[in-house]
Amino acid sequence: MLRTLLVPAIVLGALCAGCLPNLDEMKPQGPVSHIGEVRHVVLFKFKDTATPEQIAVIEDAFRALGRKIPQIVDLEWGTDMSVENLTEGYTHCFLVTFKTAQDRDIYLPHPEHKAFGAKLKPILDKVLVIDYAARE
């Protein structure tokens, strides 16, 4: 009985093995470099009167910029979790990546970015922005 089940399983396994992709071919060829890409770091400190619902709208709106502005290569964000107590009230950090400074320069006056700023302004206390080119 065991032999009857094992032979078809071995044959099926041999046939399917040729159907699987070669995993070595799927690996990136050489190291991936982000050197020279422009990082746009944005920190927000919201007004004390800002509600959690208003802040959630801003979080969603900022994340949506990644789908609306093609020059954005990557967008990630998070809220403060530092134990050093050095945030000076900034609670949100957004990291936007562009391939070039020119792409960042297209993003800044982009209508979608301007519309986001208008939505943010009523509840924003302070903003801190730093741009840099990635280096090793």
pLDDT tens-digit series, residues 65-124 = 999 999 999 999 999 999 999 999 999 999 999 999 999 999 999 999 999 999 999 999
Give residue 23's pLDDT: 46
Structure tokens at 1: 């009985």
> How buried is residue 23: exposed, middle or buried, by Cβ count under 10 Å (0-12/13-18/19+)?
exposed
- Residue 18: pLDDT band by 50, 70, 90 thresholds? low
Contact 123, 49 (CB under 8 A): yes
Q: Which CATH number fits domain 38-133: 1.10.287.1080, 3.30.70.100, 3.30.70.270, 3.40.630.30?
A: 3.30.70.100
DSSP string, 10-21: HHHHHHHHTTS-
Domain boundaries, the chain: 38-133
When pLDDT is averaged across residues 49-59 and rounded to a whole number, the result is 98
pLDDT tens-digit series, residues 36-45 = 999 999 999 9
Packed helices 111-120 and 52-68: angle between N→C axes, nearest 10 degrees: 170
Beta-bridge partner residues of 46: 124
- Residue 31: pLDDT band by 50, 70, 90 thresholds? low
DSSP string, 65-128: HHHH-TTEEEEEEEE---SS---TT--EEEEEEESSHHHHHHHTT-HHHHHHHHHHGGGEEEEE
pTM for this one?
A: 0.75
Q: Is 43 helix (H, G, I), strand (E, B) or coil?
A: strand
Give residue 14's pLDDT: 45
Structure tokens at 65: 């910029």
